[in-house]
Amino acid sequence: RRVAILISGGGSNMLRLVEDMGRGDHPARPVLVLSNDPEAPGLAKAAALGIPTAAVDHRPFKGDRPAFEAALREKIDAARPDILCLAGFMRILTPSFIAHYAGRMLNIHPSLLPDYRGLHTHARALAAGETEHGCTVHEVTADLDAGPILGQARVPVKPGDTPATLAARVLEMEHCLYPAVLRRFAVGDRTPVRLP
Ligand code: GRF
């Protein structure tokens, strides 16, 4: 199976997915790392690993989301992926873009969905006094952060946690969860992964 990974920044989740696909027993392999930011540090990391990369800067498109997405699709479809993994990709995608990749686009979100959709999830969980937090891998559908859940990982909230310390703990689990989910999804197994 051919996997395209979309990033916006450091690409730590992308790196873990690529690393895992590099192990001999994996049913998938990376064919493209694409970013909406030409300066995304993850692009250089992917290129250093020999993975084809591309960037479509969203800024020149200003409010013209369909034109931005047409440029994305051109790069994506040229790589002929079977699966798209959004990994720290920070742009909202329109229902028509999502429909084009229906059933084969995944995203990782730093909360235990359906709780805390959207941004600033760690600060919001702390403000709400949560004792547990975590991350979710889901299929991408037209509703933001609401598609079928393919995996979840839980972490404890610790006394004195700040959004940064909690985010770091969650990110560590993202790096375990996403590769585990992709291994199953790549062979058509949608049994949710539950960690720990
Ligand atoms: C992190 O906040 C992570 O929780 C979310 O995307 C952001 C960047 O991740 N999934 P990455 O290091 O670019 O994968």
5 annotated ligand-binding residue: no
Category of 188 on φ-ψ map: left (φ > 0), alpha (ψ -120 to 50) or beta:
left
| Residue of 91, 119, 136, 174 best suited for mutating to test ligand 1, as the one with most atoms within 8 Å of CB | 174
What value of ipTM does the predicted structure carry? 0.96
* Residue 63 binned pLDDT confidence (cut-offs 50, 70, 90): confident
Answer yes or no: pTM beyond 0.95: yes
Per-residue pLDDT tens for 12-58? 999 999 999 999 899 999 999 999 999 999 999 999 999 999 999 99
Per-residue pLDDT tens for 98-152? 999 999 999 999 999 999 999 999 999 999 999 999 999 999 999 889 999 999 9
| Residue of 6, 13, 181 best suited for mutating to test ligand 1, as the one with most atoms within 8 Å of CB | 13
**Is the pLDDT score of 179 beyond 90?**
yes
pLDDT on residue 24: 87
